[in-house]
Amino acid sequence: MGAADRLNSTREAICRAAADCGRDPHSVRLVCVTKTFPAEAAVPLLEAGHRIFGENRVQEAAAKWPKLREKYSDIELHLIGPLQSNKAREAVELFDVIESVDREKIAKALSDEISKTGKRPRLFAQVNTGAEPQKAGVLPESADSFLTACREAYGLKIEGLMCVPPVDQQASPHFALLADIAARNGISELSMGMSSDFELAIQLGATYVRVGSAIMGERDYPA
């Protein structure tokens, strides 16, 4: 089975999961995670009509996507990995959605670059729902104040929240926590759920699911 076939199977699974909980399947969008794969690996998916892709690193995306965009101009590219402040300008220029806004230093850098370039990528805040020291993301207890600072101090519109639950824990409490934070802050977009748990994420309100290995095949670390 090729990547395009796995894409179709994933799309069908998303539709089933949405229908099972009474949701419109069109309310859930699939981000195909192509990190570590070469540009040519995305072509069968693009030819199959898919347009939303996720990358972990600014540098890798910069080497891969501009040429593809020459042929497929309607690509929507998401940054789903940690962002360093010195990469903020490149990220603003390259990505349509930045899902990993997680600290005030990044919020300020993005605000500055948006002002300078006039480009306005959609922004999601990343929440470290498991309070894992090795992971990026604002801690849940600091999320409300961080979102207020993004809006009031830096003039940023945060449209969504993103999380990556701990691999050794049930994902559902983390998805529910993210949904609660979003609800009380008036945020409608939720990026949660990956290859192993996207159906559960859909049940708990995901509007974007990030699926890598189930479409692209296995890599050296979870996707």
Q: What is the pLDDT of residues 79-95, one digit of tens each?
A: 999 999 999 999 999 99
**pLDDT exceeds 70 at position 222:** no
> How long is the chain?
223
Prediction pTM value: 0.95
Of the chain, the percentage scoring pLDDT greater than 70 comes to 98
What does the buried/exposed string (b/e) look like for 166-193 if buried means 16 or more CB atoms within 10 Å of the residue's CB? eeeeebeebbebbbebbeebebebbbbb
219: confidence class by pLDDT, cuts 50, 70, 90: low
Whether the per-residue pLDDT at 153 is higher than 90: the answer is yes
Q: Which band of pLDDT confidence, cut at 50, 70 and 90, is reported for residue 161? A: very high
Looking at residues 165-182, what average pLDDT do you find?
97
The residue-averaged pLDDT of 124-152 equals 97
Please state, as a whole number, how many other Cβ atoms lie within 10 Å of the Cβ of residue 21.
11
> What letters, b where the CB count within 10 A reaches 16 and e where it falls short, cover 112-136?
ebbeeeeeebbbbbbbbbbeeeebb
| Mean pLDDT value of segment 164-193 | 97
Angle subtended at Cα 76 by Cα 97 and Cα 191, rounded to the nearest 5 degrees: 50
pLDDT over 50 (residue 174): yes
pLDDT on residue 220: 47
What pLDDT does residue 149 have?
98
Residue-averaged pLDDT of the chain: 96
